[in-house]
């Protein structure tokens, strides 16, 4: 069967009549700036006891995904490959250091639930507080892709998210931009869903 080039010979590319060609409207894509990220149940509460949101201050999000490692099999003169363990990538999020949410302190309080530089202690992850509530430094995060009207069209859900690093941006009198906080996160599982985040 001969190969039929889609974009060259497709009837949808025909520039005759009153219909728009496929490459004029059907190949529209999600914009890199149409997104929101939300961290759920962050184990740091505000003074009024309500969890502080991390959605509004997120400025940029790095690539997400995972890579399946190779298992090499050698047989005489041949080398073939089989899929092995999957390794999720790290997630880097840049936050504006806002006055209202005090993003720098919030992220620092979160990473202190893993390693506290004041006491030098590592937390065990799941622990019972004096009130009997079980705490966990891992959480769930959603990266929501929005359509051209700002409605959710798909989302990437990350399970087992915890902060791995916390870095303040450079302080410099000569710059004219917001101060930012960069945090790197690890996660255990990633799921891409074409529906809204539920």
DSSP the chain: -----HHHH-GGG---TTSPPHHHHTT----TT-EEEEEES-S-B-TTSPBPP-STTEEEE----EEEEEEEEEETTEEEEEEEEEEEPPEEEEEE--TTTTHHHHHHHHHHTTEETTTTEEP-SSEE-TTSPEE-S-EEEEEEEE-TTS-EEEEEEEEEEEEEEEEEPPP-TT--S--EEEEEEE-SEEEEESS---
Phi, then psi, of 147 in degrees rounded to 5? -85, -175
In this predicted structure, what is the pLDDT of residue 168?
92
Least confident of 57-66, 99-108, 144-153: 99-108
In this predicted structure, what is the pLDDT of residue 47?
46
Decide if 126 contacts 134 (C-beta within 8 A). yes
Decide if 126 contacts 77 (C-beta within 8 A). no
In this predicted structure, what is the pLDDT of residue 89?
92
For residue range 6-53, list pLDDT tens digits in order. Answer: 666 655 666 677 776 666 566 677 888 889 999 888 877 654 455 566
Going along the chain from its start, the domains and CATH numbers come out as 34-193 (2.30.110.20)
Torsion sign, CA atoms 62, 94, 151, 141: positive
The token pair that represents 118 in the structure block: 């004041």
| Average pLDDT of every residue of the chain | 82
* Mean predicted confidence (pLDDT) in 116-145: 74
CB atoms within 10 A of CB 98: 15
Torsion sign, CA atoms 179, 187, 32, 35: negative
In this predicted structure, what is the pLDDT of residue 149?
86
Question: How far is the first Cα of the chain from the last one, in angstroms, to the nearest whole number?
Answer: 44
**Whole-prediction pTM:** 0.78
In this predicted structure, what is the pLDDT of residue 40?
86
Residues in the chain: 198
* Mean predicted confidence (pLDDT) in 45-72: 79
- More confident call, 157 vs 31: 157
Decide if 81 contacts 70 (C-beta within 8 A). yes
Decide if 84 contacts 66 (C-beta within 8 A). no
For residue range 92-130, list pLDDT tens digits in order. Answer: 999 988 888 788 888 888 888 888 888 888 766 555 556
In this predicted structure, what is the pLDDT of residue 132?
57
The pLDDT-based confidence of 158 (bands split at 50, 70, 90) is: very high
């Amino acid at each position: 069967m001969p190969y039929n080039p889609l974009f060259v010979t497709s009837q949808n590319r025909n520039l005759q009549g009153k219909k728009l060609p496929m490459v004029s409207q059907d190949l529209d894509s999600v914009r890199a700036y149409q997104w929101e990220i939300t961290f759920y149940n962050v184990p740091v509460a505000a003074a009024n006891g309500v969890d502080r949101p991390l959605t509004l201050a997120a400025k940029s999000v790095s690539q997400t995904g995972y890579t399946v490692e190779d298992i090499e099999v050698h047989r005489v003169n041949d080398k073939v490959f089989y899929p092995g363990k999957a390794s999720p990538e790290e997630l880097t999020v840049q936050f504006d250091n806002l006055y209202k949410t005090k993003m720098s302190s919030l992220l620092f309080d979160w990473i202190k639930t893993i390693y506290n530089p004041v006491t030098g202690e590592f937390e065990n992850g799941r622990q019972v507080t004096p009130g009997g509530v079980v705490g966990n430094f891992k959480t769930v995060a959603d990266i929501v892709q929005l359509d051209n009207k700002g409605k959710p069209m798909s989302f990437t859900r990350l399970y087992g998210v915890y902060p791995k690093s916390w870095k303040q941006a450079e302080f410099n009198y000569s710059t004219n931009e917001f101060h930012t906080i960069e945090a790197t996160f690890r996660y255990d599982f990633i799921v891409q869903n074409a529906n809204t985040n539920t």
